[in-house]
């Protein structure tokens, strides 16, 4: 798992509970996405609308429990973002 995935996960974990909920991902990407992209922690094309963020969440939620662990998140973003 990449260090970039770890930094991005931390930036999206708004309540700092070690898991990501769908609403948290959507909200964090909307509010922090451009700044994360500007500093290289997220590809510019990765800053999408709520629908794109929700689709990323669904792809990453491997066990279907409606929350993302770091491992689930990193497996998808490392592959999708080419890290």
Q: Are 62 and 75 in contact, with CB atoms under 8 Å apart?
A: yes
Q: How many domains would you assign to the chain?
A: 1
Host domain of residue 25:
3-80
- Report the b/e string of 39-78 with b at 16+ CB within 10 A: eebbeeebbeeeeebeebbeebbeeeeeebbbebbbbbbe
Provide mean pLDDT across the span 4-30.
94
Q: What is the pLDDT of residue 42?
A: 87
Beta bridge partners, 68, equal 20
Token pair in block for residue 20: 């990501």
The predicted model scores a pTM of 0.88
Residue-wise pLDDT for 32-51, tens only, equals 989 999 998 888 877 778 88
Q: How many CB atoms lie within 10 A of CB 17?
A: 10
User: The CATH number of the domain where 14 resides is what?
Assistant: 1.10.238.10
């Amino acid at each position: 798992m990449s260090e970039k995935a770890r930094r991005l996960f931390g930036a999206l974990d708004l309540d700092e509970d070690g898991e990501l909920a769908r609403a948290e991902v959507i909200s964090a990407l909307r509010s922090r996405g451009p700044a994360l992209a500007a500093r290289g922690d997220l590809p510019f094309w990765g800053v999408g609308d709520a629908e794109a963020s929700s689709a990323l969440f669904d792809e990453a939620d491997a066990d279907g429990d409606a929350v993302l662990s770091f491992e689930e998140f990193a497996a998808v973003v490392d592959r999708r973002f080419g890290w």
